[in-house]
Structure 1
Amino acid sequence: MGRTGGTGPDGGRAARLLARLALLALIGSLVVLLLAVGDGGLLVVGSGFLGLVLCAVGVWWFVAHRGAVRLLGVLLAVAAPVGVLVLFSHEGLWLTALILCLCWGAALACARAALRRSRPPRPPRAVPATPPKRPVLIMNPKSGGGKVERFGLVERAEALGARVILLDPSAPADVAELARGAVAEGADLLGVAGGDGTQALVAAVAAEHDLPFLVISAGTRNHFAMDLGLDRSDPSRCLDALTDGE
């Protein structure tokens, strides 16, 4: 995957500047809509605001999701502004439509450039990992509406030789201390079936002790799993890493 800019000081400043320019372009489009009240009436201006909101929703779906939802986000992000421009042109607001088009185009271009410059460096090439001998997995039965039980994660993990620490929802525990205790007892891999917050706590402990970390996508959002390219629809597939990891 190509990369423009970087996460160094210069790349970070450039990304922030481009993000601010994208925001200014969006604000400019709002100002144009407000100025169009006298020419097109509230109905036309309201349609413009609705189109702007739908476009933002489409962009968010494109960034935060994959598959059919991401495709729908692309269609929405394109169709919403096109519909607004057609409506404005039909009402004779050619100049307003042109300025809105320029503002939205500048906002999208700056936002895209900011995202490209803020990308982290390309990760090292994946290589096969030695299967762990004493893996320990911490599982939250409440995460994702009960995915641990629904996908039989405890039974599958134990069948693959892992020791499972099942959290008690009625007695909140210090997850990081549980992970450190597992390391003290000889764990050579740490893993979590839970939300991104729990993942982060245990990942920090794994990093402290230079141990491999297994992400099981049993949370609600699973942003970390998405970044890693894991299957978020079936968390049990993540357990394959116990025998065939990278």
Structure 2
Amino acid sequence: MGGACAALLTALGSGMLILLSGVVGLAATAAGVWWFLAHRGPVRVFGAILAAAAPLTTLGLYVSWGVWVNALVALGLWGVALSCARAALRRPEDERKALMRGESVPPPRRPVLIMNPKSGGGKVARFGLVERAEALGARVILLDPSAPADVGGLARKAVAEGADLLGVAGGDGTQALVAEVAAEHDLPFLVISAGTRNHFAMDLGLDRTDPSRCLDALTDGE
């Protein structure tokens, strides 16, 4: 009886150790992926290394403990769970088309675009957005990266001066501030995908690789 109890306790302890190492490895992988996506420079590099090293280290421990079969089964189950989650969150094709349905509008007469030169690692300058927008008749307000800016206040001032369209070349946070002002005054809002991740632009189906194409809305609005 004593030997059986000892064996049971040993098995339970090994199982807890396997579970704990798996949870730690999964948490480290998730942290690495987050740092890779949300940061730049050395932190991003460290995140990439951690995201790759954590699962490999965990798998190496499982192999050394002789439970690599369990690890492969768990990995397969994780994959199935992720596939089910993705399928559950995927919108039907007809719903996506309904969300993307637009309405053509006449070109604006006094468009005002607020641009953040630091967004996306300098996409405003790299794609010549200021020059292209001004050539299409837009007034550009270029933010000073060395000083804090009241983006919402700048947008409200532009509306008070007669702007009939507001737009932003910047990240999702800057876009949200100006979009709020545009919604308050029932004005068209132009999204220019000059941020780092451009989640809002992705939801709208815009080209996130070339933000200058978003300026086409100044002459062919939807």
TM-score by length of 2: 0.65
Q: Is the 2:100–2:205 Cα contact (8 Å) retained in structure 1?
A: no
Deviation of 1:99 after TM superposition, in Å, equals 4.3
What is the aligned length? 189
Unaligned runs of 5+ in 1: 1-34, 65-79
For 2:192, the equivalent position in structure 1 comes to: 216
- Among candidates 73, 85, 91, match of residue 111 of structure 1: 85
Matched, 1:132 2:114: no
Q: How does 1:9-20 map to 2 (within 5 A)?
A: none
- Among candidates 148, 157, 173, match of residue 172 of structure 1: 148
1:148-190 CA-to-partner distances (Å, cap 9, x unmatched) read 2222211111110111111122332211111111111221110
**Secondary structure at the residue paired with 1:214?**
strand
For 1:4, the equivalent position in structure 2 comes to: none
**Secondary structure at the residue paired with 1:123?**
helix
Runs ≥4 residues deviating over 3 A:
35-39, 48-57, 91-94
Unaligned runs of 5+ in 2: 1-10, 39-54
Q: How does 1:28-47 map to 2 (within 5 A)?
A: none
Is the alpha carbon distance of 1:115 and 1:172 closer, same or farther for their aligned partners in structure 2, counting shifts above 3 Å? Answer: same
- Among candidates 190, 211, 234, match of residue 166 of structure 2: 190
Letter in 2 for 1:127: E
Letter in 1 for 2:212: S
1:62-83 CA-to-partner distances (Å, cap 9, x unmatched) read x99xxxxxxxxxxxxxxx89xx
Paired with 1:173 and 1:162, the residues of 2 have a C-alpha distance of: 20
Is the alpha carbon distance of 1:176 and 1:164 closer, same or farther for their aligned partners in structure 2, counting shifts above 3 Å? Answer: same
Q: Is the 2:100–2:204 Cα contact (8 Å) retained in structure 1?
A: no
Paired with 1:51 and 1:224, the residues of 2 have a C-alpha distance of: 32
Paired with 1:136 and 1:201, the residues of 2 have a C-alpha distance of: 14
Q: Which moved more, 1:154-163 or 1:226-235?
A: 226-235
- Among candidates 198, 212, 216, match of residue 236 of structure 1: 212
**Secondary structure at the residue paired with 1:215?**
strand
Deviation of 1:51 after TM superposition, in Å, equals 8.8
**Secondary structure at the residue paired with 2:200?**
helix
Paired with 2:117 and 2:111, the residues of 1 have a C-alpha distance of: 19
Question: Which of these two proteins has the greater Rg computed from alpha carbons?
Answer: 2
Paired with 2:197 and 2:132, the residues of 1 have a C-alpha distance of: 22
Deviation of 1:225 after TM superposition, in Å, equals 1.6
For 1:162, the equivalent position in structure 2 comes to: 138
Identity, % of aligned pairs? 72
Paired with 1:135 and 1:206, the residues of 2 have a C-alpha distance of: 12
Q: Is the 2:133–2:140 Cα contact (8 Å) retained in structure 1?
A: yes
* Greater relative contact order (Cα < 8 A, sep 6+): 1
Matched, 1:100 2:67: no
Give the RMSD, CA atoms, in angstroms. 4.2
**Secondary structure at the residue paired with 2:186?**
coil
Matched, 1:150 2:126: yes
**Secondary structure at the residue paired with 1:107?**
helix
Paired with 1:93 and 1:147, the residues of 2 have a C-alpha distance of: 46
Letter in 2 for 1:226: M
